[in-house]
Structure 1
Amino acid sequence: MKKKNLLMAAALMLSSAAAHADEGMWTLYNLPQAVYEQMKSYGFSPSYDQLYKSDDAIKNAVVNFSGFCSGVVVSPDGLVFTNHHCGFEAIRANSTVEHDYMLNGFYAKSFEEELPSKNMFVSFMVDQQDITPELEKRGINSMDRKEREKLLNDVENEMIKAVHAKDPSLELEIKPFYEGNKYYATTYRVFRDLRLVFTVPKSMGKFGGETDNWMWPRQTCDYSVFRIYADPNTNGPAAYNKQNVPYHPKHWAQVSMDGYKEGDFAMTIGYPGSTERYLSSYGIREMRDAENAPRAQIRGVKQEVMIKHMRADEGVRIKYDSKYAQSSNYWKNSLGMNKCIDSVGIVRQKADFEDRIEEFQKWTGYLKGKLDFQKMKELYATRFDADKLATVWRETFARTSEFNTRALTLIGMMPKDSKKKTYYTFTDNSDEWDEALDKDVMAALIDNYRQYVKKEELPEFYKTIEGKFAGDSRKYVDYLYKNSVIMKSGKKITLTEKALAKDPGYQYAKAVKAVYDKCYGVMSSVYDAIEEQEKYLCDAKVRYEQELPHYSDANFTMRLSYGQVGGYLLNGEPSGYYTDAASIVRKMESGEKGTIDYQAEPIMKKLLSANDFGKYADKTTGKMQLCFLTNNDITGGNSGSPMFDGKGRLIGLAFDGNWDSLSSDIWFDKRLARCIGVDVRYMIYLMDKWGNADRLIKELGLK
């Protein structure tokens, strides 16, 4: 390498080091010493071992909450704090029109009143280890995808068997890290008896709704409280049983009422879901144009229909509140991410970096003949149209209506052996969905689908809509509901082509499946080759920046992020680093004038209009602080992640990012990306003044 090139590379390394100083979703068991030293320089005082290794390690209080969020244990009797939107489905499932806990909130005044939460669980990470060397010995690097999947499945089963021999309550999974360049095995202890203890009314737990989602300033009191129950004899995991007792953990997080100030150390530990920061410029183009853009458009159509029905009927709202929230969250995420991709120029920046990697290859010969950017470009071009149509297909037909869900289930149950006679029966789940809403959504999406494909490429059932129903999709949907065996719950369905030949729902399902099969065929033909190129690109980046510590993309395993409390420039003005009670009262007053997302119960306005907040007021500002900003790294799955101060004490829960953080899944911008947390003092204030939850406050060790 020429001296000039060496100097240029060194300069790039230094600039990268500065840019990556606070970025990162770090695994804890092998946290780089340089990262820990940086944390100490910001004010973190616990020892290295107190993060992961010791019995009182901070990680021992953090949980995977039900496979989609994070949470934290905060008491010796197994109380768990998580976000309100993470507990939303459990709150909804326990609600009825007579006892609407979503609308009115809930507080269990005794252990006996705590409500079982079906299908909810928490997992504690026990151990994590790098098993890459063992897999390499068994030839993983020379295998194709099917061979690799078989090896991973075999090794995982071997490790699970060994773990169960020591402790049957443990579970284990193997996941790829660094785009498949490494593999880690993680051991968990899973508790499946989780009960709802406390939640504020939806008006506070989702205050601001979609108006404020991904925005700053925020005043949302986004938290709910659950309790872990355990076997009374072992204090270990057990299926739900009335005889189970509160779980007694060895370690739990201490709640701090001391607050924070600008510049203070802040750390989150949780389970971020998915990032793709090693993704190529070609992958980002595909994400923007073939995935995010159609997803946002189609969900906008669906949500407009849903909200009309939900606002007209309380029973319908209860059934669909959680589904609507899930849909709208990633609708807005897709819009915001695309805006950030373009405004920041991420595709161009990625392409420039790839040019440097290509130069690095020429100088060093690293991955020569393997990493090939021209090949990568051609592979993505081959997949683009199919990927876009696959997105349109998913957003139109996959789990978008009860009929579509059943239709695709039925087609998936059809036996490959046409001579074999099998049966299937749909159970009656009419309490989970509304027919009028379901039909309107389905018809609207069928109509919307037309704009994405050429007329000659429309599925076969569109001919029926035109010929038999004069182009009226809603009449066609009515016809399907009335005449297809698919919607006849409890009826035994014979799964043969002959038996279903005249069933309009089955013919609809076949036509829908044919579109998917066509997309899948194209996508699968290049999938392995694209994955291999992205794996090589990640490897090249790590080698190119070998003097820097690197973290793997998020994959819903436990990660640590650190930073500091502080705001940013919002529209050219300082954003401030916290919101106060006066700010939510102002929004509530605008809600009284018609902004529905800012409407709340009169008691909430009264409580937050107090002249003196006593012990809940911040000692520095004298104000009741509601939400705050840090530059911690956050993505989906981090919701409910505990936010710790420099002493390892709980100061809040992460619940959102700002609008400028929406590109963070692919590109972290330290200047603009912020994590939004709900202040634990705000949480306790409502627990105290609204819920009168004295027993819980005492359990937290607070006076």
Structure 2
Amino acid sequence: MKKTSFIFAAMLTVASAHADEGMWTLYDLPQAAFEQMQAEGFVLPYADLYQSDNAIKNCVVNFSGYCSGVVVSPDGLVFTNHHCGFEAIRSHSTVEHDYMLNGFYAKTYEEELPNENMFVSFMIEQKDVTDYLDKKGINKILPTQQRHFLDSIENVMSKEVKEKDSTLRLEIKPYFEGNKYYATTYRDFTDLRLVFTIPKSMGKFGGETDNWMWPRQTCDYSVFRIYADPKTNGPAKYSKDNVPYKAKHWAPVSLNGYKEGDFAMTIGYPGSTNRYLSSYGIRERRDAQNAPRAQVRGVKQEVMLRHMRADEAVRIKYDTKYAQSSNYWKNSIGMNKCIDSTGLIQQKADFEKRIRKYQDETGFLKGKLDFDLMKSLYDKRLVLMRNYMLLRETFVRSNELADRALKVHNGMEVKGSKEKLSKQYVEFEDNSDTWDEALDKEVYAVLLKNFREQADADYLPEFFNTIDRSFGGDYNKYVETLWKNSMLMKKGAKIFINKKSFMKDLGVKMGFDITEKINDMMVAFQDINDSIQLQERYLCDAKVRMEMDQPHYSDANFTMRLSYGQVGGYDLAGKPSGYYTTAESIVEKMKKSDQNFEYFAEPVMHELMGAKDFGKYADKETGTMQLCFLTNNDITGGNSGSPMFNGKGELIGLAFDGNWDSLSGDIFFDKKLARCIGVDIRYVLYLMDKWGHADRLINEIGAR
């Protein structure tokens, strides 16, 4: 590891950096990268990124473990995307008070709505602990064992941190495929309240039609507030006595806009990328992960959408589930398209030939990095992975019955007598307000039929034989019988887990068969995953070593990252994309709502977006109301809600999407086509002002 440590130290001192590619950690941002940022228009000192009290990192938050956000006022107001606040908005909605459909504005602090299981995290500190873990022996154990090892080290280091400040937590994550490890300290605030949201018609304008596409007009934002202990201004569980958090630093909001070529920077929490992945890994991603995911979700979503459009109460229950499913359904389709259109697998294979030559010349990782072995391992795993994805997409979080069938075998709380096994039982809480029987029945029957058609025979759970023998292959009849007779779907039923009747229950037996098949597949994976992970780690190490004259950034792992570049569009087959959209363009789409329901907007929105004068929210250069814009900043899932800053560190927008033409971005950054789509902060404030009449929030933000 001494050689590797030298490699990573060297790569931080190189003199060139790619302005448009990279998800850089802030605490050790290469000086060369910072100098490039300055050359492109960033004017704040280096310390104002990470180190100082006014550092930009201090106003950027991890939003509930799946998105990013930014504090925009001294009283803890947080902006994130509408789709990041989607579940909170949905959970507060009823048919009588449908905040998804009609929007919401809390006119006072007392009206701001608390949310269960939501939080924001501030990053306090990050440090490199690679050498420390090397001495502890992390490289002497297999990759699948390392998570347990890290957990034990985390516990020790977290205890030390909490002894100094009980409001902090610490986590350790691998970087550069496990060649480095960083420890990050966070402070979590769990009292997070909904303050403002526009109607779904605007917050999700264009729906799946426009998702991942350009041009965009979606006003993708929602507003929350952090609440704190009134005595300490620190984290506290929800209480009516909590008060708005007094922020030490918040992002100043700018109404000055941007022009093509202007410096742009995003800081947020990108979730996961795999840009060091081998050609064999990319083939697996395309054929065994993306393809089955898209196929199964397409079948499921067709049924969901039909039921949701027929009944408003059903739509409210499933809005979030449908959005979550459809997002990576379309992403998987787009990524596979890009993999093929760019010839990415062959590009990677050609690059690997260069690494082989470098290895032959230098002897680096000789006896460790073995491309022939890597190929054979991936070949062995391909069929297993494809069937595993089909199984997961069919049975895991796809419908209520399958969920319960799996949960009853996997870690539910056992109640009843500790002495008498026959008296021990499990029971499900009444969650009937989160699902619809007719929708779930049809979805499950369709998915069962689809799984039989798509999966290899060896991977069919045993209960498929029951469907054939006892139900004549009729999936609808099987599902109806399960719902009618299984204890799993009986409201308030106690399911005694040690009685003979337990395994005679059709639903319980089905869950057992699925669990057994999953466990069999996990055993098969264990024999091969460690070997693949080691080969991928060696490949990353070899790439970095071979390219010592270039800077490298680690793949995203949902820790804070910085990306910098410029405002600007791209060229596709000789057709310029443009780099912003205007109010006129959304009005034109709204007029087509009779052809596409996802372009529907309320009459008031037609009026507001068709205004002749947008006042202070209009762009000073063009005179237009600009809605969404493009930069070449690096983005992936998790970056949703990331603040977009200008060179002065002022907020100009919120990142919410990538573009269809570069959806292979998680595994390959296309410098010509990759773009980040953001919602203009002036569009955000315009609707907050003119639709919501949220004067108190506008004043609190103090936009200038």
Question: Contact (CA 8 Å) 2:93, 2:99: kept in 1 or not?
Answer: yes
Q: Tell me which residue corresponds to 1:64.
A: 62
Q: Tell me which residue corresponds to 1:611.
A: 612
2:207 corresponds to 1:209: yes
Aligned-pair distance for 1:382?
Answer: 1.2
Say which SS state the counterpart of residue 592 (structure 2) adopts. Answer: helix
Q: How far apart in 1 are the matches of 2:457 and 2:691?
A: 58
Say which SS state the counterpart of residue 331 (structure 1) adopts. Answer: helix
Aligned-pair distance for 1:484?
Answer: 1.0
Aligned-pair distance for 1:510?
Answer: 1.9
Question: Contact (CA 8 Å) 1:276, 1:553: kept in 2 or not?
Answer: yes
Question: Contact (CA 8 Å) 1:577, 1:628: kept in 2 or not?
Answer: yes
Decide whether aligned partners of structure 1 residues 155 and 586 sit closer, same or farther in structure 2, where only a CA change above 3 A counts. Answer: same
Q: Tell me which residue corresponds to 1:667.
A: 668
Which amino acid in the other structure matches residue 538 of structure 1? Answer: C
Within a 5 Å distance, the mapping from 1:234-273 to structure 2 comes to: 234-273=232-271
Question: Contact (CA 8 Å) 2:202, 2:601: kept in 1 or not?
Answer: yes
2:647 corresponds to 1:646: yes
For residue 459 of structure 1, the aligned residue among 453, 458, 461 is: 461
Which amino acid in the other structure matches residue 383 of structure 1? Answer: R
Aligned-pair distance for 1:471?
Answer: 1.9
Q: Tell me which residue corresponds to 2:679.
A: 678
Q: Deviations over 1:169-196 (max 9, x none)?
A: 0011111100011111100000000000
Q: Tell me which residue corresponds to 1:225.
A: 223
Within a 5 Å distance, the mapping from 1:16-415 to structure 2 comes to: 20-145=18-143, 147-413=145-411
Decide whether aligned partners of structure 1 residues 612 and 146 sit closer, same or farther in structure 2, where only a CA change above 3 A counts. Answer: closer
Q: How far apart in 2 are the matches of 1:672 and 1:454?
A: 38
Q: Tell me which residue corresponds to 1:10.
A: none
Which amino acid in the other structure matches residue 567 of structure 1? Answer: G
For residue 560 of structure 2, the aligned residue among 558, 561, 577 is: 558
Q: Tell me which residue corresponds to 2:703.
A: 702
Decide whether aligned partners of structure 1 residues 518 and 243 sit closer, same or farther in structure 2, where only a CA change above 3 A counts. Answer: same
Say which SS state the counterpart of residue 314 (structure 2) adopts. Answer: helix
Which amino acid in the other structure matches residue 282 of structure 1? Answer: Y
Aligned-pair distance for 1:419?
Answer: 9.9
Decide whether aligned partners of structure 1 residues 618 and 63 sit closer, same or farther in structure 2, where only a CA change above 3 A counts. Answer: same
Q: Tell me which residue corresponds to 2:3.
A: none
**Unpaired segments ≥5 residues, structure 2:** 1-10
Decide whether aligned partners of structure 1 residues 414 and 119 sit closer, same or farther in structure 2, where only a CA change above 3 A counts. Answer: closer
Q: Tell me which residue corresponds to 1:538.
A: 540
Which amino acid in the other structure matches residue 696 of structure 2? Answer: R
Question: Contact (CA 8 Å) 2:42, 2:647: kept in 1 or not?
Answer: yes
Aligned-pair distance for 1:499?
Answer: 3.5
Q: How far apart in 1 are the matches of 2:261 and 2:298?
A: 39
Q: Deviations over 1:265-298 (max 9, x none)?
A: 0000000000000000000000000000010010
Q: How far apart in 2 are the matches of 1:547 and 1:608?
A: 50
Which amino acid in the other structure matches residue 654 of structure 1? Answer: A
Question: Contact (CA 8 Å) 1:644, 1:650: kept in 2 or not?
Answer: yes
Which amino acid in the other structure matches residue 298 of structure 2? Answer: G
Which range moved further: 517-526 or 609-618?
517-526
Q: Tell me which residue corresponds to 2:487.
A: 485
Which range moved further: 134-143 or 197-206?
134-143
Aligned-pair distance for 1:456?
Answer: 6.4
Q: Deviations over 1:391-450 (max 9, x none)?
A: 000000001000111100012148999995542111111111111111111100000001
Question: Contact (CA 8 Å) 1:566, 1:576: kept in 2 or not?
Answer: yes
Q: How far apart in 1 are the matches of 2:261 and 2:644?
A: 15
Which range moved further: 618-627 or 468-477?
468-477
Q: How far apart in 2 are the matches of 1:197 and 1:556?
A: 26
Aligned-pair distance for 1:19?
Answer: 9.0
Q: Tell me which residue corresponds to 2:596.
A: 595
Decide whether aligned partners of structure 1 residues 147 and 221 sit closer, same or farther in structure 2, where only a CA change above 3 A counts. Answer: closer
Q: Tell me which residue corresponds to 1:442.
A: 444
How many pairs are equivalent?
Answer: 688
Question: Contact (CA 8 Å) 1:281, 1:351: kept in 2 or not?
Answer: yes
Decide whether aligned partners of structure 1 residues 627 and 418 sit closer, same or farther in structure 2, where only a CA change above 3 A counts. Answer: farther
Q: How far apart in 2 are the matches of 1:249 and 1:154?
A: 33
Aligned-pair distance for 1:73?
Answer: 0.1
Q: How far apart in 2 are the matches of 1:390 and 1:258?
A: 51
Q: Deviations over 1:76-118 (max 9, x none)?
A: 0000000000000000001111100000000000001101111
Decide whether aligned partners of structure 1 residues 456 and 26 sit closer, same or farther in structure 2, where only a CA change above 3 A counts. Answer: closer
Q: Tell me which residue corresponds to 2:7.
A: none
Question: Contact (CA 8 Å) 2:358, 2:546: kept in 1 or not?
Answer: yes
What is the TM-score when the length of structure 2 is the normalising length? 0.96
> Root-mean-square deviation (CA), in Å?
1.8
Q: How far apart in 2 are the matches of 1:640 and 1:372?
A: 41
Say which SS state the counterpart of residue 520 (structure 2) adopts. Answer: helix
Q: How far apart in 2 are the matches of 1:456 and 1:391?
A: 14
| Aligned-residue identity in percent | 67
Q: How far apart in 2 are the matches of 1:580 and 1:554?
A: 32
Aligned-pair distance for 1:320?
Answer: 0.3
For residue 584 of structure 2, the aligned residue among 582, 585, 590 is: 582
**Unpaired segments ≥5 residues, structure 1:** 1-12
Question: Contact (CA 8 Å) 1:129, 1:185: kept in 2 or not?
Answer: yes
Say which SS state the counterpart of residue 563 (structure 2) adopts. Answer: strand
Which range moved further: 260-269 or 425-434?
425-434
Say which SS state the counterpart of residue 412 (structure 1) adopts. Answer: coil
Which amino acid in the other structure matches residue 679 of structure 1? Answer: D
Q: How far apart in 2 are the matches of 1:388 and 1:185?
A: 34
Which range moved further: 463-472 or 666-675?
463-472
Question: Contact (CA 8 Å) 1:415, 1:495: kept in 2 or not?
Answer: no
Q: How far apart in 2 are the matches of 1:543 and 1:418?
A: 61
Aligned-pair distance for 1:20?
Answer: 3.9
Q: Deviations over 1:561-619 (max 9, x none)?
A: 0000000013421111100000000001111x321111100100101111111111101
2:512 corresponds to 1:510: yes
Q: How far apart in 2 are the matches of 1:454 and 1:192?
A: 45
Aligned-pair distance for 1:472?
Answer: 1.5
Which amino acid in the other structure matches residue 497 of structure 2? Answer: L
Which range moved further: 412-421 or 195-204?
412-421
Q: How far apart in 2 are the matches of 1:419 and 1:552?
A: 53
What is the TM-score when the length of structure 1 is the normalising length? 0.96
Say which SS state the counterpart of residue 613 (structure 2) adopts. Answer: coil
Which range moved further: 655-664 or 75-84?
655-664
Aligned-pair distance for 1:147?
Answer: 4.7
Aligned-pair distance for 1:493?
Answer: 1.5
Q: How far apart in 2 are the matches of 1:204 and 1:21?
A: 33
Say which SS state the counterpart of residue 292 (structure 2) adopts. Answer: helix
Q: How far apart in 1 are the matches of 2:459 and 2:389?
A: 16
Which amino acid in the other structure matches residue 286 of structure 1? Answer: E
Q: How far apart in 2 are the matches of 1:436 and 1:114?
A: 35
Q: Deviations over 1:234-262 (max 9, x none)?
A: 00000000000000011000000000000
Q: Deviations over 1:220-239 (max 9, x none)?
A: 00000000000000000000
Q: How far apart in 2 are the matches of 1:364 and 1:600?
A: 63
Aligned-pair distance for 1:22?
Answer: 2.0
